[in-house]
Structure 1
Amino acid sequence: MLTEIPYNELSKEALEQLSKGAFLNVKGEDKENTMTIAWGTTGFIWGKPIFVVAVRYSRYTYDLINKSNEFTVSIPLNGQLKKELGVCGKESGRDKDKFKECNLTPVKGKNVASSMIEECDLHYECKVVYKQAMEPSAVDSAIDEKFYSNNNYHVMFYGEIVGCYTKK
């Protein structure tokens, strides 16, 4: 059973896990997809709680999130789902249904069409309020060299957090 909590109640735990992996979920055109993310942050901007995710143009998720303008983030806080995070970080939703392949259970969102992952402990539902493509000339040269030598930059999606839930 999911219980609604304030978006920042488990912020420390969420950010600690994010660097190890979380699931970014999006539904578009009757197809759902999940992908592993390890970059993102929560904060308060424009008088709203915000979750920022970075998605490369080359990812299938980019097309879905760009059209749907919403997403969820599901975070396993107890060390579970390492194998599934690995699969969802390497495989493309263009080619397969990662929910089925990893035996992940989609749970219908309460405020968005995108599902959450039942096996996770913490969930954010988000509606995109701003998109920002990275400006290559503004990226620090060491970061650019390390992460963008192939010119496959990210788009930052700022999602207003419209629901935050934990398992109780």
Structure 2
Amino acid sequence: MANINLKEVKFTEVLNDYINLFPKGAFLTTKQEDKINTMTMGWGNVGYIWGKNIIMVPVRKSRYTHQLIENSNYFTVSVPLNNQYQKELKFCGTKSGLNYDKIAELKLPLYKTELTDVPIISGNDLHFIAKIVYKQDMKLENLSQDYQNKNYPEADMHSFYYGEIIKVYQEV
């Protein structure tokens, strides 16, 4: 595991900038037993639901990450705010964990926090540690036809995982 310096920050300190968190890509990391996988997410949501700070991450059912997150209670999101890891984000967004050990292949440095055994990827600027509190599969019939045509022409739908943010870290 990597050796890094983390500073705990209040969620509200980063909430105002959440709209800029995902369009450049972020690493969603999950773990089931001894299998760790990360994937690139280009969208998601951060907000306040049920009186808690929540991060929602979408995962297509066809993805290897879906298998792992379905059998986990936690996930982490590591966000490179300064354009680092662009090659790695591209790789993790186009290769499956079924065929590649992305972490080993890219030599991504992992760091285990004290809160969960799902690691964060060091070298990123911002990290969310989240405990899954709700999940739901999308229903194609509930989605606007315009969005269906543009985003789901083959009906490869997402599951949404809502995680209570239990810690937010900035690397220092």
Identical counterparts, % of pairs: 43
Structure 2 unaligned spans of 5+: none
Q: Which runs of 4+ in 1 moved over 6 A?
A: none
8-17 or 100-109, larger mean C-alpha shift: 8-17
Contact 1:42–1:52 (CA<8 Å) still a contact in 2? Answer: yes
**TM, length-normalised to structure 2:** 0.94
2:63 corresponds to which residue?
A: 59
Matched, 1:117 2:133: no
1:36 to 32, 40, 53: 40
RMSD: 1.1
**TM, length-normalised to structure 1:** 0.96
1:130 deviates by 0.3
- Structure 2 Cα separation of the partners of residues 57 and 8 of structure 1: 31
- Structure 2 Cα separation of the partners of residues 132 and 104 of structure 1: 30
- Written as runs of structure 1 = structure 2, the 5 A alignment for 1:16-165 is 16-165=20-169
- Structure 2 Cα separation of the partners of residues 124 and 17 of structure 1: 11
What CA deviation, in whole Å up to 9, does each residue of 1:107-148 have, x standing for no partner?
Answer: 103212111001111000001100011111110101000111
What CA deviation, in whole Å up to 9, does each residue of 1:5-52 have, x standing for no partner?
Answer: 112312344431311100000111201000000110111111111000
- Structure 2 Cα separation of the partners of residues 115 and 61 of structure 1: 14
| Letter matched to residue 4 of structure 1 | E
- Structure 2 Cα separation of the partners of residues 97 and 55 of structure 1: 18
1:153 deviates by 0.3
What CA deviation, in whole Å up to 9, does each residue of 1:50-96 have, x standing for no partner?
Answer: 00000010011011111012100000011111100000001111111
